Amino acid sequence: FALHGSRSPNQCEAGTQQQYMCGIVGYVGAQQAAPILLDGLRRLEYRGYDSAGMAVCGPEGLRVCKAKGRLQVLAELTEEGRAMPGVGHTRWATHGEPNDVNAHPQVSRSGLFAVVHNGIIENYAVLRERLEKKGYVFRSQTDTEVVAQLLEDYYVASRDLFEAVNDMLSVVEGAYALGIVCRDAPDRLIAVRKDAPLLLGYGAGENFIASDVTALLPYTRDVVYMDDGELAVVTAGGIRIYNERRRPA
Ligand code: GLU
């Protein structure tokens, strides 16, 4: 595979990132997302997981399917009609038992956001309590659900996706690779990486995110390993990467 710039593929092997295996895969392009996500997740099975799921943006909003156990449980999900972005996930539970509700994607209260996450949100309890006081009802036991609910809370205030993601990131602490889709922005997905592996894959008229290049080998060998603190806006036409200070990288 090819690398853009001078980033080292070995970054993925370094330090604390090893402890967050499981997996993330995301797709934006002209093909149906769901089969590509399933294929990518199958290629990440070796990393271990206890449950799996995916979210696909469709004409009727975000369609989420998730389940405890093997990927085969997900295999029947396909998306009719025009292809839309999607994110898939294999979970290795840290907060809340492996079950259908705790499997990712975690979805915000009105279904505006779907989030997949590898890692741990250390301060989730405080954030959850704060949101509950504002009337948010949590469905799962995961730390990840606070990310989805926070995104909705900030987005409803600003109506700006980029700003809402940055607002959310300014309050969460911990380690995370995140794949985010928003019902209001069905042409894109957002990728964020801090102390957990995540890479971007470049195709022709389609682009990808993944925990590991293995997930993308059938589709592209042209990848960028995200640096810590980076955020990427992924559309079918291109990928914009922002550094920790949110300047174009
Ligand atoms: N901490 C999250 C959870 O327990 C993510 C686990 C993972 O990395 O798969 O849901």
Higher pLDDT pick, 24 / 30: 24
Q: Determine which residue's CA is closest to atom 7 belonging to ligand 1.
A: 118
How far apart, in whole angstroms, are the C-alpha atoms of residue 25 and residue 234?
Answer: 12
Report the separation in Å between the CA atom of 90 and the middle of ligand 1, taken as the mean of its atom positions: 9
pLDDT at 15: 41
pLDDT tier at 132 (50, 70, 90 boundaries)?
very high
**How long is the chain?**
249
Beta carbons within 10 angstroms of residue 92's beta carbon: 16
pLDDT at 227: 96
pLDDT at 149: 98
Asked if the model's pLDDT at residue 178 lies above 50, the reply is yes
Pocket test for ligand 1, best of 143, 147, 195 (most atoms within 8 A of CB): 143
Mean predicted lDDT score pLDDT of the chain: 88
Asked if the model's pLDDT at residue 32 lies above 90, the reply is no
Q: Is the overall model pTM greater than 0.85, yes or no?
A: yes
Give the mean model confidence (pLDDT) for residues 14-28. 71
Give the mean model confidence (pLDDT) for residues 36-47. 92
Asked if the model's pLDDT at residue 93 lies above 70, the reply is yes
pLDDT at 197: 94
Give the mean model confidence (pLDDT) for residues 185-192. 94
pLDDT at 165: 98
Q: Determine which residue's CA is closest to atom 5 belonging to ligand 1.
A: 118
pLDDT at 20: 62
**Lowest-pLDDT range of 3-7, 54-58, 66-70:** 3-7
pLDDT at 58: 77
Burial of 176-188, coded b for 16+ CB within 10 Å and e otherwise, reads: bbbbbbbbebbeb
pLDDT at 111: 94
Protein residues with CB under 6 Å of any ligand 1 atom: 20, 22, 91-96, 102, 117-120, 142-144
Pocket test for ligand 1, best of 21, 118, 140, 195 (most atoms within 8 A of CB): 118
Give the mean model confidence (pLDDT) for residues 17-43. 85
Give the mean model confidence (pLDDT) for residues 153-170. 98
pLDDT at 205: 94
Report the separation in Å between the CA atom of 184 and the middle of ligand 1, taken as the mean of its atom positions: 25
Asked if the model's pLDDT at residue 78 lies above 50, the reply is no
Report the separation in Å between the CA atom of 121 and the middle of ligand 1, taken as the mean of its atom positions: 9
Atom of ligand 1 nearest to the CA of 196: 8
Atom of ligand 1 nearest to the CA of 142: 10
Atom of ligand 1 nearest to the CA of 90: 9
Radius of gyration of the chain (CA): 16
- pLDDT over 70, % of the chain: 88
Atom of ligand 1 nearest to the CA of 91: 9
87 to 23, 56, 132, 140, 149: CA distances (angstroms): 11, 7, 27, 19, 17
